[in-house]
């Protein structure tokens, strides 16, 4: 089904999507995943060029977006900070005003979220946030899609995030709240999620019958959880804080002992790359209950749905929430 609902819009935050829009992306990703590269998807971006801009290193995001554009029939153009130099060689404003003339969309992994916001002010093409210091919406969409595959529905389930209240936790808070998933976050004191994002998530949760809880006790948030999520303690750009972070986050490691408090069939999630022996143990990361590789695989499928909807004007439109 082709429709105007998402066409031409930016995706900078999970807060940019309604519940119905998320479910439509999920159903489209599910359908195309089962087709394994065949069918209607092959020509949706035919004749369209998509710029893929990376200020930070990337494995999963770069490979999956490159593949996604190819599998939709489009042409990906890979750009690095060394080539473009936003903020050094020229401004974000000038970069996007040039890209407007050449390409049909921009996927951007940036150090500062304000770079995306500045480009969005002058953009005539959809911009997709492939990670910033504020959010990682494509990752969170792949995460909840992965859990939906494993569970019979999402509403009423509990996701516990343990670690740094940074970009991934922000996107999970907003998306879980919109989908009726209870989201609990546990961080050391001083590393809690952004207060404004927490407030937005609570407002969403109130509308959808879910709960947002921010605590400093990892055992409390993991208690009876359906899924436990962790991420690196030292993100790119925070290397100068590594020693202090490793010390303060040590009690927040996801290991077999911590998981005893979760449900016996609880899944473990990690967006990768993982620092084994820090935020997660080898035993947990390599266990059958860990969905890290499923999450990585599903980045491809959910990103194809995003590209198709925002740039190709393809919209599933089912709104089915099951």
pLDDT digits (tens, 9 = 90+) for 244-257: 899 999 999 999 99
Q: Is the same domain home to 152 and 271?
A: yes
Q: Is the same domain home to 278 and 143?
A: yes
pLDDT at 1: 42
Query: Is 256 within the bounds of a domain?
Result: yes
| pLDDT above 90 coverage of the chain, percent | 90
Query: Is 255 within the bounds of a domain?
Result: yes
Q: Is the same domain home to 145 and 281?
A: yes
Q: Band the pLDDT of 2: cuts 50, 70, 90.
A: very low
Query: Is 320 within the bounds of a domain?
Result: no
pLDDT digits (tens, 9 = 90+) for 32-42: 998 865 678 99
Q: Which residues are catalytic?
A: 109, 136, 139, 231, 271, 299
DSSP code at position 193: P
The gap from C-alpha 11 to its chain's centroid, in whole angstroms, comes to: 11
Q: Is the same domain home to 69 and 164?
A: no
Q: Is the same domain home to 250 and 150?
A: yes
Q: Is the same domain home to 130 and 158?
A: no
| Residue 266 near residue 226, CB atoms below 8 Å | yes
Query: Is 171 within the bounds of a domain?
Result: yes
The gap from C-alpha 109 to its chain's centroid, in whole angstroms, comes to: 12
Q: Band the pLDDT of 320: cuts 50, 70, 90.
A: low
Q: Is the same domain home to 147 and 291?
A: yes
Instruction: Please determine, for residue 145, whether its predicted confidence score (pLDDT) is greater than 80.
Output: yes
Structure tokens given for 243: 């020693």
Query: Is 3 within the bounds of a domain?
Result: no
Q: Is the same domain home to 287 and 172?
A: yes
Query: Is 100 within the bounds of a domain?
Result: yes
Query: Is 82 within the bounds of a domain?
Result: yes
State the residue range of the domain holding 175. 139-295
Q: Is the same domain home to 222 and 265?
A: yes
Q: Is the same domain home to 217 and 151?
A: yes
Average pLDDT across the chain, whole number: 94
CA distance 16 to 221: 27
Q: Is the same domain home to 126 and 211?
A: no
Q: Is the same domain home to 116 and 203?
A: no
pLDDT digits (tens, 9 = 90+) for 51-100: 999 999 999 999 999 999 999 999 999 999 999 999 999 999 999 999 99
CA distance 272 to 253: 15
Please give the tally of structural domains in the chain. 2
Kindly report the backbone phi and psi dihedral angles of residue 51, in degrees, each rounded to the nearest multiple of 5, phi listed first.
-85, 130
Q: Band the pLDDT of 132: cuts 50, 70, 90.
A: very high
| pLDDT above 70 coverage of the chain, percent | 95
Concatenated DSSP letters of 153-191: --TT-EEEEES--SHHHHHHHHHHHHTT-EEEEE--TT-
Query: Is 1 within the bounds of a domain?
Result: no
Residue 19 sits in a domain whose CATH number is 3.40.50.1370
Our CA dihedral for 100, 106, 110, 116, rounded to 10 degrees, sits at 60
Higher pLDDT, 6 or 2: 6
pLDDT digits (tens, 9 = 90+) for 200-217: 999 999 999 999 999 999
């Amino acid at each position: 089904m082709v429709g105007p609902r998402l066409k031409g819009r930016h995706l900078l935050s999970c807060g940019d999507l309604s519940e119905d829009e998320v479910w439509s992306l999920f159903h489209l990703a599910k359908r195309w995943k089962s087709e394994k590269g065949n069918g209607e998807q092959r020509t949706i971006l035919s004749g369209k060029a998509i710029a893929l801009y990376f200020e930070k290193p990337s494995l999963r995001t770069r490979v999956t977006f490159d593949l996604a554009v190819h599998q939709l029939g489009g042409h990906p153009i890979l750009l690095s900070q060394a080539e473009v130099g936003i903020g050094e060689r020229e401004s974000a404003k000038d970069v996007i005003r040039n890209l407007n003339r050449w390409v049909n969309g921009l996927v951007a992994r940036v150090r500062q979220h304000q770079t995306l916001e500045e480009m969005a002010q002058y953009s005539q093409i959809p911009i997709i946030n492939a990670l910033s210091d504020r959010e990682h919406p494509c990752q969170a969409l792949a995460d909840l899609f992965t859990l939906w595959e494993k569970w019979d529905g999402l509403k009423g389930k509990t996701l516990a995030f343990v670690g740094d209240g940074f970009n991934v936790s922000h996107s999970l808070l907003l998306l879980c709240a919109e989908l009726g998933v209870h989201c609990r976050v546990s961080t050391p004191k001083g590393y809690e999620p952004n207060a404004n994002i927490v407030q937005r998530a609570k407002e969403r949760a109130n509308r959808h019958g879910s709960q947002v809880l921010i605590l400093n006790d990892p055992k409390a948030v993991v208690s009876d959880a359906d899924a436990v999520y962790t991420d690196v303690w030292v993100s790119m750009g925070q290397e100068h804080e590594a020693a202090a972070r490793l010390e303060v986050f040590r009690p927040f490691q996801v290991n077999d002992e911590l998981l005893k408090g979760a449900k016996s069939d609880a899944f473990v999630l990690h967006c990768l790359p993982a620092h084994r022996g820090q935020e997660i143990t080898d035993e947990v990361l390599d266990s059958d209950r860990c969905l890290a590789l499923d999450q990585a695989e599903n980045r491809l499928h959910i990103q194809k749905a995003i590209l198709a909807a925002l740039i190709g004007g393809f919209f599933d439109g089912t709104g089915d929430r099951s």
